[in-house]
Amino acid sequence: MAILGVGFDLVTVSDFAEQMDKAGTTMIRDSFTAGERRHAATKSSEPARHYAARWAAKEAVLKAWATSRFARPPQIGDNPYPLIEVVNDAWGRPSIKLHGMALEFLPTVKIHLSLTHDGDIAAAVAILEE
């Protein structure tokens, strides 16, 4: 077992609420998988909180991945966000599911994830282990 990288991200929930209110905004559609959008829509009356926490998770994974590459960002295209999906198990515990090039680059990596949100802040920590 070796820790390859650690990433942390902190975001403002109200920024996601503003994005959701803008007509024609594609950031939500382009950055989140159908499963993540379904989860945010069905879990509460405040989907922006769920989007914000998931965005922080995606950023934390990218930062941990960059740390494992000596601070060089992963080269997986212009929009890596849909390749990193936050999923929940039967008990609601979040984890990361990689897709496409992200899975190809990190096939044996285990990703530990913790999400939180309080008030207008959402945060995530990701640890990459091999």
Over residues 22-60, the pLDDT tens digits come to: 766 678 888 999 999 998 888 767 889 999 999 999 999
**Encoded tokens for 70:** 């000596």
The total number of structural domains in the chain stands at 1
Q: If pLDDT is split at 50, 70 and 90, which confidence band does 71 have? A: low
CATH number at 24 reads 3.90.470.20
- At 69 the pLDDT is 72
Burial 103-125 (b: 16+ CB within 10 A, else e): eeebeebebebebebeeebbbbb
**Encoded tokens for 27:** 């950031």
C-beta neighbour count of 99 within 10 angstroms: 12
- At 51 the pLDDT is 92
Reported pTM: 0.91
Q: In whole numbers, what is the pLDDT of the chain averaged over residues?
A: 89
Q: Residue 62 sits in which domain range?
A: 3-129
- At 118 the pLDDT is 94
Let me know the angle formed at the C-alpha of 32 by 28 and 38, rounded to the nearest 5 degrees.
90
- The secondary structure of residue 23, as a DSSP letter, is T
Q: Do the beta carbons of residue 117 and residue 49 sit within 8 Å?
A: yes
